[in-house]
Chains A and B, each alone.
Chain A
Amino acid sequence: MTKIERRAMLKTIGLASFGALSPNLLKGETLREPYSVSEKPITTDILIIGGGTAGTIAAIQAGRAGAKTTLIESGSQLGGTTTTGGVSFPGIFHAWGKQIIGGIGWELVLDSVELNGDKLPDFSKTPERHWKHQVAVNPALYSLLAEEKCTAAAVDVRFYETPTMVEYKEGRWFVESVGKGVKNQISCSQIIDCTGNALITSMAGYDVLREEDTQPGSLVFSMGGYDLKSLDLAKIPKKYHGYLRQNMLESQIRSTGENTSVPYGYVYVKGADSTTAETHTLANQKGRQNLLDLIRDLRGLPGCENIRITNMKTETAVRETYRINGEYKVTKEDYVSGKIFDDSLSYSFYPVDLHRDGKSIYQEFLKPDIVASVPLRALIPKSSRNFLVAGRCVSSDRLANSGLRVQASCMGMGQAAAATAVLAHKNGTTPSDVSVDDIKELLRVHGAIIPGEI
């Protein structure tokens, strides 16, 4: 008897004895096969990894442009920072009285606002605080609409999966992706890394960069059980005032027309990094512990004895981890001067906004009429083939990145990267060889705003 035959026989005996030992099956019950990991090959045109702020938009764009599209997301819903991270007031889509980021990201935001019965602010008025033009959305609706649009675009969304191997062979990428009970061998023409952490870029062997000290993450929450107006703040240490005030600002989920306040109750999480399961677990644990500590402290303050947590996001939102070393690195000077490159495909508008050591924020506001832009080359890792990134890992120096990392900018990058990838696929080439004019034309068709054209 060969080894395999013997094993099969033992298995049969085992099953038989299990059947003999198991109680009689009730009506409707069946004995199932033991758990096993199914393996299958998947062939696609565009593979997008990361279904967050940039990846969701990229997937919809690629699908609508007619490409067979696969989207891998390690979590359970789309939207990333906007939904799972709780920063559900994406921005900034408008600058100096004009819309500067449109396309699919804006479409999703507008649809969320409409379906929630909310009202947009008047963007023609430049607000005294930049974040007042961030648009609060109902995160649940945003996630649902994102998924619906992906489905309509025939995007194969694969939740709970993460790549374990990436290899480029003979003009195609081969990616092994593992999730609960699945192990897929994905073959694709183009990859867009939307992990935010440049994870796939690094796995593919291209250079990634990281600061020695990264900006902290934020665990978003809200509290109840106190009345800010009746608190005697003179008796409460100043370090708690921000928590108490921010939490009382309205509109994480809006019930009225006014929508522009930042409802940003959060605790900082130093060194938060969502790149691996271990670092991500640590970021979440630290955030939760920091929140617990805060709540205990607050409950000891006069007027805050009944404070309680009313909502907490399940994950710590991350600001900064890795950046790619791209064909071009956007500098702070490019950013604050509003430089428009020949291959600029989307705008970005936010102050240089560096959260330092979890204690202070370095902010440098853009001067009137200045709007930064993102060139295609900053989305292409140096020396790469058939590979793009979109999102906060865009090739940029640290200060430029602190402005580029925000949601609307990432959405714009996602759409631009996908349009490029689709054309590269159709032409059988690599992104850097695609005609920039063709990319811009495709983006226009899908409602995007091209730098220099407003």
Chain B
Amino acid sequence: MPFRIESSTTIHTVFRSCLPFALLLCINSCFLSKKAIRYSVEPTFTANNDDQKKKLTSFGDSLFLVEAKDGLPDYYFQQYNTGVCYDNKCRPLSISIYWSVTGRYLGFELPKEEFLSKTDHEPFVPEDYEFLNKLLANPDLPFADIEYYELMDQPSDAVESVDAVSGATSARVSNIVVKGAVYTTYSLWNIVHGRSQEFIQEHTGSIVTTHLIEKILRDSNRSDKVWVLERFPENIEMTSLLLDTIEALIVNSDFHLAYTAIHAIKAPRLNSEAIQEMLFKAYAKSNDPSIKSLIISKLGQAPFLSNGVINVSRSCVDELKGQELVDLLKLLKKHEVKDDQTLQAVENLLSSDNVFIVRQAQKFLKQIQISNE
């Protein structure tokens, strides 16, 4: 089904209610800009200079997906052309918004000779554009939960009026809007983080391939990596390159990436010995006790434990202390690992001078003995 911005209640409401006060694109010859105004969050992002030469997929309503030379999805953009009313005068609005394949805001562009202005008709200065660009790039701003009439400290019945542009900016948002352009900031943020973004995320999720995942996890922005890990497809082919990439993320010192990477591996995947062994390699390399604990917990969800993991884990037993030892013995017990070499490794713990370790070993050996009976 083609993307239809009109079908979105949220966006429709935003356009109907907010843009008249907000996106003040003045076409005043006195203030015309010679060059197109373009801002992006990544200096390397080159946007649509050569979009004509690239393969575009249209979803309707001027929303396009642009493919990179390697045939993989590269970015999305949408051109907004609509009427903007202010002081009962309507003017055309034209602006292009850019998103990464994960729906992350990349930037915006105004056509040549157009610019944004404030409620007092003053055009944006470069600092305003930069701040706006920074605000649009922040998905954590509370604008999705704020009604537009809450932007100003004035009675709610007054702000329904087209001319209701006066009043003090609400303290709740005063630090997160371009000064004098509260509605512009609010409206654009809701466009950037609204229905189009949702569509983009759904669409990319539906066409994601192993190669695209590898590319995002290797090269992309951190939040793109988190995005793809949080939506890791259950049936995607796990190439050795992809496993190496995930292992590197788990060993990485960035806790959130490591944490999300571990959670990306769902239980049904764990019947793969290669995945189990990748996880245990990461376990051996990680310096973070929390990550180690999460890996062992994950391996506990596997239907069996590969010989590779058993062999390596056995050699770790005598080095572990505290919770790490408890976790590993629990894992071995859960998978009923009771070969002679493992039992010997655990029996060696009985000579530890730490009674806690001795007790864990005794408990494990006793449980194995009971299960044998």
Contact = CB atoms under 8 A, between A and B. Distances in A.
A107 B356 contact: no
Contact of B322 (A106, A119, A446): A446
Given A99-B255, A107-B293, 18 more contacts: A63-B356, A64-B322, A64-B323, A64-B356, A65-B356, A66-B353, A104-B323, A111-B293, A124-B254, A125-B140, A149-B323, A154-B356, A154-B359, A445-B321, A445-B322, A446-B322, A446-B323, A447-B290
What class of interface size applies to chain A in its complex with B?
20 to 34
Contacts of A63: 356
Contacts of B242: none
Interface in B22-54: none
Contacts of A446: 321-323
A70 to B, nearest CB: 14
A66 B357 contact: yes
B137 to A, nearest CB: 13
Nearest to A120: B259
B356 A102 contact: no
Contacts of A102: 289-290
A437 interface: no
A153 interface: yes
A66 B354 contact: yes
B290 A110 contact: yes
10 contacts: A64-B322, A66-B356, A66-B357, A110-B290, A154-B359, A445-B322, A446-B321, A447-B289, A447-B290, A447-B323
Interface in A51-91: 63-66, 68
Contacts of B357: 66
Interface in B229-273: 254-256, 259, 263
Interface of A: 63-66, 68, 99, 102-104, 106-107, 110-111, 114, 119-120, 122-125, 149, 152-154, 445-447
A103 B289 CA distance: 8
B312 interface: no
Contacts of B256: 120, 122-124
Nearest to B141: A128
A353 B353 CA distance: 44
Contacts of B323: 64, 104, 107, 149, 446-447
Contacts of B356: 63-66, 153-154
A107 B326 contact: no
Contact of A110 (B226, B254, B293, B353): B293
A106 B321 contact: no
A446 B294 CA distance: 16
B81 interface: no
A452 to B, nearest CB: 17
A417 B254 CA distance: 29
Contacts of A447: 289-290, 322-323
A123 B255 contact: yes
A236 to B, nearest CB: 16
A448 to B, nearest CB: 9
A323 to B, nearest CB: 31
B177 to A, nearest CB: 14
B355 interface: yes
Given A65-B354, A66-B357, A153-B356, A122 B289 contact: no
A81 B152 CA distance: 40
A107 B327 CA distance: 12
Contacts of A114: 294, 297
B173 to A, nearest CB: 12
A44 to B, nearest CB: 13
Listed residue (B294, B322, B354, B359) with the most chain A CB atoms within 10 angstroms of its CB? B322
A203 to B, nearest CB: 30
Interface string B335-366: 00000000000000000011111011000000
Contacts of B293: 107, 110-111
Nearest to B257: A124
Interface string B300-339: 0000000000000000000001110010000000000000
Contact of A107 (B254, B289, B355, B359): B289
Nearest to A103: B289
A124 B289 CA distance: 18
A102 B292 CA distance: 13
A111 B259 CA distance: 13
A447 B353 CA distance: 20
A110 B295 CA distance: 13
In the A-B complex, the 3 residue pairs with the closest CB atoms? A66-B354, A447-B289, A64-B322
A426 B259 CA distance: 37
A406 B84 CA distance: 51
Contacts of B359: 154
A76 B355 CA distance: 28
Contact of B355 (A66, A110, A119, A149): A66
Nearest to A149: B323
Contacts of B355: 66, 68, 154
A28 to B, nearest CB: 32
A41 to B, nearest CB: 21
Contacts of B140: 125
Q: Considering residues B263, B290, B353, which has the most beta carbons from chain A within 10 angstroms of its beta carbon?
A: B290
Contacts of A445: 321-322
A238 to B, nearest CB: 14
B290 A107 contact: yes
Interface string B274-293: 00000000000000011001
Contacts of B226: 122
Contacts of B255: 99, 123-124
A123 B260 CA distance: 12
B2 to A, nearest CB: 31
B357 to A, nearest CB: 7
Contact of B290 (A64, A106, A125, A154): A106
B113 to A, nearest CB: 37
Contacts of B321: 64, 445-446
A153 B359 CA distance: 9
A154 B326 CA distance: 13
Nearest to A107: B323
Highest count of chain B CB atoms <10 Å: which of A99, A104, A110, A119: A110
Contacts of B294: 110, 114
A408 to B, nearest CB: 14
Nearest to A153: B356
A64 B256 CA distance: 28
A256 B360 CA distance: 35
Interface string B207-242: 000000000000000000010000000000000000
A99 B140 CA distance: 21
Contacts of A149: 323
B292 to A, nearest CB: 9
A6 B354 CA distance: 54
B208 to A, nearest CB: 21
A153 B297 CA distance: 19
Contacts of A153: 356
Nearest to B176: A128
B50 to A, nearest CB: 34
A152 B290 contact: no
Contacts of A107: 289-290, 293, 323
A109 to B, nearest CB: 10
A103 B255 CA distance: 15
B167 to A, nearest CB: 16
Interface in B165-198: none
